[in-house]
Structure 1
Amino acid sequence: MDLVLSAADYYFFTPYIYPATWPEDDIFRQTISLLIVTNLGAYILYFFCATLSYYFVYDHSLMKHPQFLKNQVYREIKFTVQSLPWISIPTVSLFLLELRGYSKLYDNIGEFPNGWFHLIVSVISFLFFTDMLIYWIHRGLHHRLVYKRIHKPHHIWKIPTPFASHAFHPVDGFLQSLPYHIYPFIFPLHKVVYLGLYILVNIWTISIHDENGCKNEKLCNGEFTKTK
């Protein structure tokens, strides 16, 4: 995330927003900047990709299904808009730790003897690690002690549209994104790869909430196991 923040400081925050006397590496300034960048980026990515998916991929005949709720698209968007700022708070705390040098993110492929090979392996490892943890987190969220209050709000959308992709309870949304953030604290990962994977993961989340996602996973019935 330091790559994004550096660009934001250079082109926007430093010349136009913050006083010249406020150092760019000040932790309070970094926190404020990360909150702005994270929320703005999340909203742009969500609305841009969900809108494209909704108009060009989503099967609108599903909206005639008896379980499709009244004003559902509006409600999905409203739920998301209200949840994202809360999800961003713990997310930014992790971004801040990365920014302060506590993660294993690196920006020079030459730091490893087999740099490119290590980079490719890290991508595969990232996908395996996150998919495995999200499965167990998702399964845990279906436990009767937490499902009703935390995870059930996402399953209100029995026939989801792409706009339901980020319509989570804030705790639910953060927990399911947590594996993506803790990976670079455990394993080395290139900064550009991390940023690219973070964006792709959000696009993937949107894509599994179109009609194809409902066919491949039992999302419409509130189940987490894949169909055979």
Structure 2
Amino acid sequence: MDLVLSVADYYFFTPYMYPATWPEDDIFRQAISLLIVTNVGAYILYFFCATLSYYFVFDHALMKHPQFLKNQVRREIKFTVQALPWISILTVALFLLEIRGYSKLHDDLGEFPYGLFELVVSIISFLFFTDMFIYWIHRGLHHRLVYKRLHKPHHIWKIPTPFASHAFHPIDGFLQSLPYHIYPFIFPLHKVVYLSLYILVNIWTISIHDGNGCKNEKLFNGEFTKTE
């Protein structure tokens, strides 16, 4: 995330927003900048990808289903817009630790071919690690002690559109993203790879809420009953 922050500082924050006397490596300045960058980036990614998926992938015939809610798309968007800033507060705390040097993120590819091999292994490891832990987190969120308060709001959308992809309770949304942030504190990972995978994961989250993708996800997690 420091790569994004350095670009934002160079082209926007330093010349236009902050006083020249405020050091770029000041922790409070970094926290404010990360909140802005994270929220702006999240909204752009969400609206751009969800809109494309909604108009070009989503089967609009599903909107005639009796379980499709009145004004559902507007409600999905409203829920997401209200949730993302709260999710970002917890996320920024981890981003801040990363840019302060507490993670194992690096920008060294190493010597060829060993550097390339390490890069490929880290990507496979990242996907395995995150998928495994998200499965157990998701399963835990279906526990009767927390489901109604935290995870049930996401399942209001029985027939979801891509705009439901990030319509989470803030704590639910953060918990399901937590493995992506934990990984670079345990294992080394290239900064560009981490940023790319993080963006792709959010795009993937949108894609599995296009109707068919969400149905397949529910079948995989054993969430469908015979009545569904």
TM-score by length of 2: 0.95
Letter in 1 for 2:146: V
> What is the aligned residue count?
224
Note if 1:34 corresponds to 2:34.
yes
Contact 1:112 1:118 (C-alpha < 8 Å) held by counterparts: no
Q: Which runs of 5+ in 2 are unaligned?
A: none
Which residue number corresponds to residue 146 of structure 1?
146
Cα offsets for 1:130-150 (capped at 9, x unmatched): 000000000000000000000
Cα offsets for 1:36-66 (capped at 9, x unmatched): 0000000000000000000000000000000
Partner SS state of residue 109, structure 1: coil
**Where do 1:156-171 residues align within 5 Å?**
156-171=156-171
Partner SS state of residue 22, structure 2: coil
Deviation at 1:26, TM superposition (A): 0.2
Letter in 1 for 2:77: I
Contact 1:68 1:157 (C-alpha < 8 Å) held by counterparts: yes
RMSD: 1.5
CA–CA separation in structure 1 for the residues paired with 2:190 and 2:27? 23
Deviation at 1:108, TM superposition (A): 1.0
Which residue number corresponds to residue 205 of structure 2?
205
Letter in 2 for 1:224: N
Call closer, same or farther: CA 1:65–1:224 in 2, change over 3 Å: same
CA–CA separation in structure 2 for the residues paired with 1:195 and 1:177? 13
Letter in 2 for 1:176: Q
Call closer, same or farther: CA 1:93–1:216 in 2, change over 3 Å: same
CA–CA separation in structure 2 for the residues paired with 1:101 and 1:174? 22
Partner SS state of residue 110, structure 1: coil
Q: Which runs of 5+ in 1 are unaligned?
A: none
Cα offsets for 1:141-200 (capped at 9, x unmatched): 000000000000000000000000000000000000000000000000000000000000
Which residue number corresponds to residue 128 of structure 1?
128
Deviation at 1:225, TM superposition (A): 2.9
CA–CA separation in structure 2 for the residues paired with 1:23 and 1:155? 45
Which residue number corresponds to residue 78 of structure 2?
78
Call closer, same or farther: CA 1:112–1:171 in 2, change over 3 Å: farther
Cα offsets for 1:57-96 (capped at 9, x unmatched): 0000000000000000000000000000000011000000
Letter in 2 for 1:39: N
TM-score by length of 1: 0.95
